[in-house]
A = this chain, B = another copy of it.
Amino acid sequence: MLKRVNHIAIAVPDLGEASEVYRALGVPISEPQVLPEHGVRVCFLEFANVKLELLEAIGDGSPIAKFLGRNPAGGVHHICYDVDDLVHVAATVKNAGVRLLGNEQPKIGAHGHPVLFAHPSDLSGVLTELRA
């Protein structure tokens, strides 16, 4: 069902500064990508087994602006899991008492895959992305 962690997303106030620290620690880092339709600029930290995604807010309506308002130094914003079948997983998630966000329908996420988000309050405070 939830088989693999696809990435751990960290909201950061300044993508350049955050990248520089991880680069100094020997972590391979992707070039920044601007995703205006998602209100973020991102870099990936490529660890051997999993990716970390650094997210910087762009524009006034960025979905991570509120999080950064509450956590000005940054912090873990969400964890994303790979799943095989989003419709089946959605039903299982709801049966487990976990609320889905939005209209509960998959939408295309920041990286071109269909995704759903589950409510952090129902998953130990962790905003959870499910990605097909």
Q: Give A contacts to B, CB under 8 Å.
A: 1-5, 8, 10-13, 18, 21-22, 24-27, 47-50, 52, 54, 71, 73-76, 79, 81, 89, 92-93, 95-98, 120-126
B97 A21 Cβ-Cβ under 8 A: yes
A76 B126 Cβ-Cβ under 8 A: yes
Distance, CA A31 to CA B22, complexed state (A): 34
Task: Tell me whether A73 and B125 are in contact in the complex, defined as CB-CB below 8 angstroms, given that A5-B49, A8-B8 are known contacts.
Answer: yes
- Residues of B contacting A97 with CB < 8 Å? 21
B21 A74 Cβ-Cβ under 8 A: no
- Residues of B contacting A1 with CB < 8 Å? 25-27
Which one of B24, B76, B79, B125 lies within 8 Å of A96 (CB-CB)?
B24
Which one of B13, B25, B79, B125 lies within 8 Å of A92 (CB-CB)?
B25
